[in-house]
Amino acid sequence: MNLIRLAWKNLTYKPLNALLGILLFALSVGLVSLLLSLRKQADEQFDANLAGVNLVVGAKGSPLNLVLNSMYHLGYPNGNVSLGEVRAFLNPRHPLIEAALPLSLGDGYRGYRIVGTVPDILDWYGAEIGRGEVWQHDFEVVVGPNVVANTGLKMGDTFRSAHGIVDEGEDAMEHEGEFKVVGILAESGTVLDDVILTTNPTYWHTHDHGGGAEDHQEDDHADHDHDDHEHADHADHNHVGGIQQLLEAAEDKELTSILVRYKGINARTMSFARNINDNTDLLAAEPPYQINEVRRQFDNGQRILRILVIAIIIVSALSIFISLFSSLRDRRYELAMLRVMGSGRGGLFGLIVLEGLFVAAIGALAGLLLSHGILAVMANNIRDDFRYQLDAWRFLPEEGWMFLGALALGFLAAVIPAIQAARTDIGETLTEG
Amino acid sequence: MLATRALTYQYPGGEQLTFPDISCARGETWLLLGDSGSGKTTLLQLLAGLRTPGSGEVVVDNQVLGQLSGSDLDRFRGKQLGIIFQTAHFVRSVSVAENLALAQRLAGNAVDHDRIQQLLDQLSIGNKADAAPAALSVGQQQRAAIARAIINQPSVILADEPTSALDDANTHRVIDLLREQAAAVNATLLIVTHDNRLTRIIDQQIRL
């Protein structure tokens, strides 16, 4: 029967007294931990997927939307642009541009997005083929590891894409043309883990726009024996040219957007985006700027929450203080008895402080569990809706500090009641009744 | 043994009390008699080291209390002084047996579960060892308080008005129990009371 055990027993003897303090601590620590974890992991995901992109060029609309859609595969595309408008960006001889990635977006398979692009994208994101080979021909796809895990797609599988990004189940409007899985990506920790990669021209086959009358007719008549027919059809487009193929394709073929890397940052690149926006029908958005905008919004929201959290923290410390202080009156006889039994003033001080620390520690632990429990629930939803991988059970060093901070607060809240307890006049107390 | 020499106490209000010298040998039983307001309780607190005398000294088992300070005095009190208050108070959150274990621990002794159970059995509350103190009747609580007072085999047992609320029959039983238990650990028993019934039972008396 030592002080720690006694403090614990005192706490569990009247659990309701401690409950409020524990709940408030859990709430404040949980909120802070939740915000920290979300912010930290969001930052990391944003950074991991920046891929050195200096500029995103696409159709007019919201620049933030363009960035989120083209780089993070969130939300819906602004619309498409014609190859004729953007061909200059793809030209390897462009004076400012080191490299460019053409993206064709808008279709999906069971909630996973199909991204038409060139294999260079793997280098941009530092991703590698885990099994199989890179996509070369139209309708060949390489799938991210998370897609494999959640759809069960395997090497050699075929599937049809759906128009739109959301998984609409049975009602999905399916496109003509069967995709074939030729490769699976190794996990890269980037957004590529969650997408299906194919060529840009594949989109031209599945979407008739700009496909010309020839394609139209073929599609109309190909309903019954499309297997043979489509393979023959694909063969026509089997230029293994990547960007070269796009440079040669018809002006009215469409792309969704282009990711651009500058050769270097200079005065011309500084005004490049503005020039595009002012002088063309295209929209140019700078990802770092847009992402900072998102962060700023997030921080604005956080500022209000922070005030709330601080208020809860103060109230939680107060609740410990009040519950300990008011329990002193109830317990003055037993505190005096402890002195009679041989406990020094330090013992009583320690006992009350321990009780405060217990409340703070339990509350803080509960808060951390609560926050990561919420993250675990969120992780499932977020993964599907936002392509945002949340590692729910990853604890940040800051959370360790928060735990110590909670203990410090528990100590502070307990100190005055503890001093009061240590000062108990035993003689007076025990002979009064 | 328990002794005082030229003991005085200065109340904060200014009134000063002077107490007669006491000398009680080990194993003896004494009555400390006095009317309300005569300073009995103050003397009890001085003897227990719960108050500091204005002058003079208290000697318990050859130790002058005034020479001890702070936690040394607290530990000495836990070890050498068993105190039974008029109302029994316990640490409410732990069982009767754990209260006794706490008394052993706080006095700096090892916890001896066998002795605790034996003692509770002797006082016929062995079956209440694991009960919460609040679950005991008043009589059982008084026995538990006696058990706690003697668990560390103190050299002095101080009892404050142990019989004031009891009828004659129970008064006899409690006094017998106290004497028996004090004798078992060879302690000096000093009963502080204004109950004149006790003067017929106990010969050695101090009057204030």
What is the predicted ipTM? 0.89
pLDDT of residue A298: 81
Contact (Cβ atoms closer than 8 angstroms) between residue A373 and residue A34:
no
A56 closest CA partner among A95, A97, A116: A97
Do the chains contact at B45 and A427, CB–CB below 8 Å?
A: yes
Q: Which residue has the higher pLDDT, B15 or B159?
A: B159
Closest Cβ opposite residue B94 in set A1, A339, A427: A1
State the pairing for strand pair A174-185/A158-163. antiparallel
Q: Could you tell me the strand order of the sheet in which B205-207 lies?
A: B81-84, B156-160, B188-193, B29-33, B205-207
Question: Which one of B73, B92, B138, B141 makes the best mutation probe of the A interface by having the most chain A beta carbons within 10 Å?
Answer: B92
Name the stretches of chain A with pLDDT < 70.
1, 165-174, 208-241, 383-389, 431-433
Helix axes B96-106, B138-150, angle to 10 degrees: 20
Q: How buried is A19 (Cβ within 10 angstroms: 0-12 exposed, 13-18 middle, 19+ buried)?
A: middle
pLDDT of residue A389: 67
**What is the phi/psi pair of residue B50, to 5°?**
-85, -15
pLDDT of residue A167: 60
* % of chain B surpassing 90 pLDDT: 45
pLDDT of residue A102: 93
Q: Which chain B residue lies closest to A426 (C-alpha atoms)?
A: B50
For residue B120, the surrounding DSSP H or E stretch is: helix B113-122
Q: Which residue has the higher pLDDT, B120 or A51?
A: B120
In the chain, the amino acid numbered A212 is: G
Question: Which one of A4, A329, A341 makes the best mutation probe of the B interface by having the most chain B beta carbons within 10 Å?
Answer: A341
Do the chains contact at B85 and A430, CB–CB below 8 Å?
A: yes
DSSP A244: H
Among the residue ranges A223-237, A246-260, B46-60, B182-196, the one predicted with the least confidence is A223-237
The alpha carbon of residue A178 and the mean position of all alpha carbons in its chain are separated, in whole angstroms, by 31
For residue B188, the surrounding DSSP H or E stretch is: strand B188-193
pLDDT of residue A241: 56
pLDDT of residue A432: 63
Instruction: Using the predicted structure, report yes or no on whether residue B174 has a pLDDT greater than 80.
Output: yes
pLDDT of residue A383: 66
Which chain B residues are within 8 Å of A2, Cβ to Cβ? Answer: 105
- Mean pLDDT, to the nearest integer, of B93-113? 93
pLDDT of residue B161: 86
Which chain B residues are within 8 Å of A332, Cβ to Cβ? Answer: none
For residue A91, the surrounding DSSP H or E stretch is: none
A135 closest CA partner among A200, A76, A74, A192: A200
State the pairing for strand pair B205-207/B29-33. parallel
Contact (Cβ atoms closer than 8 angstroms) between residue A141 and residue A223:
no
- Mean pLDDT, to the nearest integer, of B68-96? 90
The string of DSSP letters for A3-68 reads: HHHHHHHHHHHSHHHHHHHHHHHHHHHHHHHHHHHHHHHHHHHHHHTTTT--EEEEESS-HHHHHH
Q: Is B153 on the interface with A (CB under 8 A)?
A: no
User: In chain A, which residues touch B (CB < 8 A)?
Assistant: 1-2, 6, 9-10, 12-14, 331, 333-334, 336-347, 426-427, 430-431, 433
Take residue B108 and report the two structure tokens written for it: 């700096």
Contact (Cβ atoms closer than 8 angstroms) between residue B134 and residue B92:
yes
Q: Which chain A residue lies closest to B40 (C-alpha atoms)?
A: A431
Residue-wise pLDDT tens digits, A196-252: 999 999 888 877 544 343 333 334 444 444 444 444 444 444 445 577 888 888 888
pLDDT of residue A184: 95
Do the chains contact at B85 and A431, CB–CB below 8 Å?
A: yes
What number of CA atoms fall less than 13 Å from residue A5's CA on the CB side? 9
B60: which residues sit within 8 A by CB, 6+ positions away? B1, B2, B47, B49, B76, B80, B81, B155, B156
Rg of chain A over CA atoms, in angstroms?
31
**What is the phi/psi pair of residue A68, to 5°?**
-60, -40
Take residue B72 and report the two structure tokens written for it: 């040394």
Contact (Cβ atoms closer than 8 angstroms) between residue B96 and residue B137:
no
Do the chains contact at B106 and A342, CB–CB below 8 Å?
A: yes
Spatial separation of the C-alpha atoms in residues B165 and B161, rounded to whole Å: 9
The string of DSSP letters for B6-40 reads: EEEEE-TTS-EEE---EEE-TT-EEEEE--TTSSH
Q: How buried is A367 (Cβ within 10 angstroms: 0-12 exposed, 13-18 middle, 19+ buried)?
A: buried
Instruction: Using the predicted structure, report yes or no on whether residue B156 has a pLDDT greater than 70.
Output: yes
Q: Is B161 on the interface with A (CB under 8 A)?
A: no
Spatial separation of the C-alpha atoms in residues A236 and B42, rounded to whole Å: 111
Question: Taking the C-alpha atoms of A334, A340, A343 and A344 in order, what is their torsion angle to the nearest 10 degrees?
Answer: 110
Do the chains contact at A433 and B87, CB–CB below 8 Å?
A: yes
In the chain, the amino acid numbered B120 is: L
Residue-wise pLDDT tens digits, A261-282: 998 888 888 889 899 999 999 9
Take residue B206 and report the two structure tokens written for it: 């101090």
DSSP A286: -
Reduce the DSSP state of residue A328 to 3 states and report it. helix
Do the chains contact at A9 and B94, CB–CB below 8 Å?
A: yes
How far is A361 from chain B, CA to nearest CA, in Å? 21
Which chain B residues are within 8 Å of A328, Cβ to Cβ? Answer: none
Which chain B residues are within 8 Å of A343, Cβ to Cβ? Answer: 74, 78, 106
Which chain A residues are within 8 Å of B108, Cβ to Cβ? Answer: 342
Take residue A98 and report the two structure tokens written for it: 């080191």
Sign of CA dihedral A5, A359, A41, A130: positive
pLDDT of residue A210: 42
Which chain B residues are within 8 Å of A352, Cβ to Cβ? Answer: none
Spatial separation of the C-alpha atoms in residues A1 and A68, rounded to whole Å: 60
Closest Cβ opposite residue A342 in set B50, B87, B107: B107
B97: which residues sit within 8 A by CB, 6+ positions away? B113, B116, B117, B120, B129, B130
The alpha carbon of residue B124 and the mean position of all alpha carbons in its chain are separated, in whole angstroms, by 20
Sign of CA dihedral B75, B77, B81, B84: negative
Closest Cβ opposite residue A342 in set B44, B51, B108: B108
Domains of chain B: 2-207 (3.40.50.300)
How far is A342 from chain B, CA to nearest CA, in Å? 4
